[in-house]
Chain A
Amino acid sequence: MKFTEDHEWLSADGDIITVGITEHAATQLGDVVYVELPEVETQVSKGDEIVVIESVKAASDIMSPLDGEIVETNDALADKPSLVNEDALGAAWFFKIKVEDPDAINEYMSEDEYKDLVGD
């Protein structure tokens, strides 16, 4: 698993990368009440804002960490956005992206590097 400075986690299975946010980010956001996900088959570029997470107090964006195509989104979040608070690293994944260059993931941080960043 890799981590971005924007508190996303990336998990690779071949050329399919699953993306979610970290427990640290979920804690900072507070109770999540709504998640707006991208459409499947959307072509995205690294840095595109593709998910909106609404917590009780505020809305925040998450960006695509890589270039590729959205191949699946997590419909469970529509009915139960609180999954983000309950299981950020597992059941609350946001989208799967099919990338042309799976090695691009390696530019991101390891778990230890991420833990240093957030001071856990």
Chain B
Amino acid sequence: MANDDLKTLALADLHAELGAKFVPFAGYSMPVQYPLGVMGEHQWTRENAGLFDVSHMGQVMLPADAVAGLESLVPVDVAGLAEGRQRYGFFTNDAGGVLDDLMIARVPDGLFLVVNAGCKEADIAHLRAHIDGVEVIEDRALLALQGPKAEAALSEVLPGAAAMAFMDSTRMDWDGTEVWISRSGYTGEDGFEISIPEDRAEAFARALLADDRVEAIGLGARDSLRLEAGLPLYGQDLSPTISPVEAGQAWAIGKVRRPGGERAGGFPGADVILPQLGGNAPRRRVGLLPEGRAPMRAGVQIFDSEDAETPIGEITSGGFGPSLGSPMALALIDADTPKDISLFGEVRGKRLPVTQTKLPFTPPGYKR
């Protein structure tokens, strides 16, 4: 189970009690699945409410005057973010690639960021190099409750949650404890992310798990859920060598940061990324549906015919979609590939047909 070199979650004992299998992930011993199994947990989240422990992710607070500093690192309209609202964004590099993706919330006394576990140390160093007063939050757990019954279940313990709209971010009192809550997540479902002091996290998690609609869900199902939802995973679908435009994330680049905007550019790699917005990116992200049942995973090369010598791209994330009932994949392919042609993925030396499809693979359940 827990390896000495791995950090453990504050809720590790609870996960073990619930029958979790643990795997090392981004330096943490993480629950990958529970007795329900990845497929069962995935379906449970799509139909009910799944509780995820995402405490391995980085939580960072920036002072209120860090808006301009943060805008120098991300192509997001941070200044235009109203108090109580959250936006998705990414740190870019000079080559126009992505260093990490993150959530940015405007809270009463500053900006609250959630960054990926594997990148958090680098992100914090990067922030500190440009912004004064960066505070790393190390004593709060982060839980996500996701699924169509998340609102009903969470309302039993936090009645105010139901009034929140998608991407609202606020603070609430739970039994004398301040929780930081946003209506967001990374499963394609309606849901919430809740930051809570570690010493109160287990009691809070148990209060949620006492509800018949809530089951603990591991990392395995989190990955298949986000992939069905067409959401990119940092390190696969987003990376320092993939531009956000190529990765299909141009929507997150605020209008004011685009050419002609009030605060156009001014972030690393703007000279690469902004010209790509007009449809000039060399590659584009595409959803792929393999025709058979064989899953095509990250690294599978994509060809535009059965006998082409040179691949036109590669799968960045792939697997089996439990709700979709078939394999699915995200790929990065040459931008000039016609959208209506069948492609081929090479699996174990065989070229198998795949169809290009719109994303997400399954309809989103966000409550706007």
Contact = CB atoms under 8 A, between A and B. Distances in A.
Interface stretch (A7-15, A16-24, A29-37): A29-37
Contacts, number: 40
Nearest to B294: A34
Given A52-B348, A54-B320, A56-B220, A34 B37 contact: no
A56 B319 contact: yes
A85 B37 CA distance: 11
A81 interface: yes
A73 B325 CA distance: 24
A59 interface: yes
B233 interface: no
Contacts of A81: 293
B320 A34 contact: yes
A36 B294 contact: yes
B297 interface: yes
Contacts of A34: 293-295, 320, 327
Interface centre among A36, A78, A81 (most CB of B within 10 A): A36
A57 interface: yes
A28 to B, nearest CB: 9
A59 B297 contact: yes
A54 B37 contact: no
Given A30-B33, A30-B220, A34-B320, A57 B38 contact: yes
Given A52-B348, A54-B320, A56-B322, A31 B295 contact: no
Interface in B292-344: 293-295, 297, 319-320, 322, 327
Nearest to A78: B293
B146 interface: no
Is chain B's interface secondary structure helix, strand, loop, or mixed overall? mixed
Contact of A33 (B33, B40, B293): B293
A111 B354 CA distance: 43
A24 to B, nearest CB: 14
Nearest to B32: A57
Give the interface residue-count category, chain B.
10 to 19
Interface residues of A, number: 13
A31 B293 contact: no
A59 to B, nearest CB: 7
A48 to B, nearest CB: 14
Contact of A31 (B37, B223, B294, B348): B37
Contacts of A52: 348
Contacts of B38: 30-31, 56-57
Contacts of B319: 56-57
B9 interface: no
Interface string B6-41: 000000000000000000000000000100011110
B89 to A, nearest CB: 29
Nearest to B37: A31
B55 interface: no
A52 B293 CA distance: 12
Nearest to B38: A56
B86 interface: no
Contact of A56 (B293, B294, B320, B348): B320
Interface string A68-112: 000000000010010001000000000000000000000000000
Contacts of A54: 294-295, 320
B345 to A, nearest CB: 13
A33 B37 contact: no
B224 interface: yes
B320 A33 contact: yes
A36 B347 CA distance: 11
Contacts of B39: 31, 56
Interface string A26-53: 0000110110100000000000000010
B71 to A, nearest CB: 38
A31 B41 CA distance: 11
Nearest to B297: A59
Nearest to A35: B293
Interface of B: 33, 37-40, 220, 223-224, 293-295, 297, 319-320, 322, 327, 348
Interface of A: 30-31, 33-34, 36, 52, 54, 56-57, 59, 78, 81, 85
28 contacts: A30-B37, A30-B38, A31-B38, A31-B39, A31-B40, A33-B295, A33-B320, A33-B327, A34-B295, A34-B320, A34-B327, A36-B294, A36-B348, A52-B348, A54-B294, A54-B295, A56-B38, A56-B39, A56-B220, A56-B319, A56-B320, A57-B38, A57-B220, A57-B223, A59-B295, A59-B297, A78-B293, A85-B37
